[in-house]
Amino acid sequence: MAALKAGDVVVADFPGVTGIKRRPAVVVSTDAYHSHRPDVLLGAITTNLAAAATPMDFALNDWVAAGLHRPSAFRTFLVTLPQAQVLAAIGQLSNADWAAVRDCLRRAIAI
C-alpha cells in the first residue's frame, strides 16, 4: 500500500465502544508523525448520520469522491492502529471536507 497521508480515507478493523467493526476511517496523523512512528491515527467515518450531530462531527459533502458508497459523516472518535492494520486506502477527502474535519478536531482536542 502507498504511504498514508492525512485526509486519506481507508478501511480498517476499527475498535469501538461495542467491539471491532470493519469500517472506513480518515487518516488524521501527519507525514511527520508517520516518519517517526509505525502507527497511524484514524477518525471514524459512519453512515449513521443521525448519530453524527455534535460540533465534533461533520456530514461529508463529497463522500462519493472520497470512495464511500453511502452518505457518511466524520466523527471525532479516534484510534491509533499499526499502519499494517490498515486494510486498504479507498480515497481522499476533498479539500473542503478535510478543512471541516480539521475544524472538528480543533474543537475536540485541546491544541
pLDDT, position 67: 96
pTM of the complete model: 0.94
Q: Is 67 exposed, middle or buried (0-12, 13-18, 19+ CB in 10 A)?
A: middle
Domain boundaries, the chain: 8-108
**Geometric angle at alpha carbon 41, from 35 and 43, rounded to 5°:** 150
pLDDT, position 18: 83
Q: Going residue by residue through the chain (111 aa), what tens digit of pLDDT does each one get?
A: 678 999 999 999 988 878 899 999 999 999 999 999 999 999 999 999 999 999 999 999 999 999 999 999 999 999 999 999 999 999 999 999 999 999 999 999 988
User: Does domain 8-108 correspond to CATH entry 3.40.30.10?
Assistant: no
pLDDT, position 1: 63
